[in-house]
Chain A
Amino acid sequence: MNMALLRMTLKKNWVLIAIFYGILTMYLSVMISMFDPEEVNKLLEMVEMFPENLMKAMGFTSIATTLTAYLASWLYGMLMLGLPMVYCIILGNRLVAKMVDNNSIAYLLSTPNSRIRIIITRGVYAILSLILLFTAVTATGVLLSESIYPGLLDIAAFIKLNIITAMVNMVVMMISFFFSCLFNEAKYSSLLGAGVPIIFLLMNMLSGVSDKIEYLKRFTIYGLFDPVGVINGETVWQAQLIYAAIIAVLFSSAVLIFNKKRLPI
Chain B
Amino acid sequence: MSERPLIEVKNVTLTYRSGKGVFDLDFNVKAGEIMGYLGPNGAGKTTTIRALLGFMKPDRGECLIGGLDCTKNAAAVQQRLGYIPGEITFPDDMHGDEFLKFISDMRRTAKNGHKGLNNNHKNRQKELTELFELDLKGRIRKFSKGMKQKLAIVTAFMHDPEILILDEPTSGLDPLMQNRFEALLSEEKSKGKTILMSSHLFEEVEKTCDNVLIIKDGRIVKQSDIHGLAASQRKTYIVRTSDAARLAALMEGENFETGPLASADSLEIFVNSADTGRFIRILAGADILDLDVKAQTLEDVFMQFYTGNTGDGGAAKQNEHGIT
In the docked arrangement, what's the CA distance between A264 and B87, Å?
11
From B56, B57, B74, B91, A107 is in contact (CB under 8 Å) with B91
When distances are taken between beta carbons in the complex, the residues of chain B under 8 Å from A107 are 85, 90-91, 103, 155
Inter-chain contacts of A263 with B (CB < 8 A): 50, 55-56
Partner of B87, one of A8, A103, A115: A103
> With contacts A112-B76, A112-B78, A112-B79 known, is A12 near B92, CB below 8 A?
yes
Asked if B109 and A112 make an inter-chain contact with CB atoms under 8 angstroms apart, the answer reads yes
Q: Is the CB of B74 within 8 A of A109?
A: yes
Chain A residues with CB under 8 A of B50:
263-265
Q: Mark B42-54, 1 if CB is under 8 A from A, else 0.
A: 0000000010011
Q: Are A4 and B91 in contact (CB under 8 A)?
A: no
Determine the distance from Cα of A2 to Cα of B102 in the docked complex, in whole angstroms: 12
Q: With a CB–CB cut-off of 8 A, which chain B residues contact A108? A: 106
For residue A184, give the distance in angstroms from its CB to the closest CB of chain B: 11
Tell me whether B108 is interfacial, beta carbon within 8 Å: yes
Nearest Cβ in chain B — how far from A97, in angstroms? 14
Once the chains are docked, how many angstroms separate the CA of A114 from the CA of B102? 17
Docked pose: A188 CA to B74 CA in angstroms: 27
Nearest chain A CB to B106 CB, angstrom units: 4
A102 to B93, alpha carbons, bound, how many Å? 13
User: Which residues of A are found within 8 Å of B112, using beta-carbon distances?
Assistant: 112
Does B321 touch A at the CB level, under 8 Å?
no
Minimum distance in angstroms from B93 CB to a CB of chain A: 6
Min C-beta distance of A207 to chain B, whole Å: 39
- The CA-CA distance from A99 to B109 in the complex, in Å, is 22
Are A99 and B91 interface neighbours, CB within 8 A? yes
Within the assembled complex, what's the spacing in Å between the Cα atoms of A256 and B18? Answer: 25
Interface of chain B residues 158 through 203 with chain A (CB within 8 A): none
B23 within 8 A of A: no
| B98-151 at interface with A (beta carbon < 8 Å) | 102-103, 105-109, 111-112
Proximity string of chain B (76-95) to chain A, C-beta cutoff 8 Å, 1 when within and 0 when not: 10110101010111111100
Q: How far is the CA of A99 from the CA of B108 in the complex (A)?
A: 22
CB of A218 within 8 A of chain B?
no
In the complex, the answer to whether A4 meets B108 with C-beta atoms within 8 Å is yes
**Minimum CB distance partner of B79 in chain A:** A112
User: B78 and A110: CB pair below 8 A?
Assistant: yes
**Is A62's beta carbon under 8 Å from chain B?**
no
Complex CA–CA separation, A9 to B305 (angstroms): 47
Residues A103 and B85 in contact, CB atoms below 8 Å apart: yes
CA gap between A115 and B55 in the complex, in Å: 10
A9 to chain B, nearest CB (A): 10
* Bound CA span A103–B92, Å: 11
Q: How far is the CA of A115 from the CA of B81 in the complex (A)?
A: 16
Most-contacted residue by chain B among A110, A117, A263 (CB, 10 A): A110
Determine the chain A residues whose CB is within 8 A of the CB of B103 once the complex forms: 107, 111
Check: B245 CB closer than 8 A to any chain A CB: no
A249 within 8 A of B: no
Determine whether A33 belongs to the interface, using a CB cutoff of 8 Å to chain B.
Answer: no
CB-based contact A104/B90 at 8 Å: yes
Q: Which of A4, A102, A117 contacts B89 (CB 8 A)?
A: A102
Residues of B within 8 A of A232 (CB): none
**A79 adjacent to chain B (CB < 8 Å):** no
Q: Are B53 and A109 in contact (CB under 8 A)?
A: yes
Q: Which of B88, B89, B108, B111 is most buried by chain A, counting CB atoms within 10 A of its CB?
A: B89
A5 at interface by CB-CB < 8 Å: yes
**A115 contacts which chain B residues (CB < 8 A)?**
74
Q: How far is the CB of B121 from chain A (nearest CB, A)?
A: 14
Contact A113 B93 (CB under 8 A): no
Q: Is B75 an interface residue (CB 8 A)?
A: yes
Which of chain A's residues have a CB closer than 8 A to the CB of B108?
4
Question: Given A4-B102, A107-B155: A113 and B109 within 8 A (CB)?
Answer: yes
Taking CB atoms, residues of chain B closer than 8 Å to A265 are 50, 55, 85
CB pair A113–B75 under 8 Å, yes or no, is: yes
Pairwise interchain contact A112-B107, C-beta atoms closer than 8 A:
yes
- When chains A and B are docked, how far (Å) is the Cα of A8 from the Cα of B93? 11
Please name the residue on chain A nearest to B155 by beta carbon: A107
Q: Which residues of B contact A262 (CB under 8 A)?
A: 55-57
Query: Which residues from chain B contact A242 at a C-beta distance below 8 Å?
Result: none
A106 at the interface (CB under 8 A from B): yes
* Interface of chain A residues 77 through 110 with chain B (CB within 8 A): 99, 102-104, 106-110
B89–A111 contact, CB under 8 A?
A: no
In A224-265, the 8 Å CB interface with B consists of 260, 262-265
For the complex, what is the distance from the CA of A264 to the CA of B78, rounded to whole Å? 18
On chain A, the residues within 8 Å of B105 by CB distance are 4
User: 4 nearest interchain CB pairs?
Assistant: A4-B105, A111-B106, A114-B75, A112-B79
Q: Which of B's residues lie within 8 Å of A, judged by CB? A: 50, 53-57, 74-76, 78-79, 81, 83, 85, 87-93, 102-103, 105-109, 111-112, 155
* Other contacts beyond A112-B79, A264-B55: 10, CB < 8 A: A2-B106, A8-B91, A8-B102, A103-B85, A104-B89, A108-B106, A112-B78, A113-B109, A262-B57, A265-B50
A-B contact pairs, 5 of them (CB 8 A): A103-B85, A110-B85, A112-B109, A113-B75, A114-B74
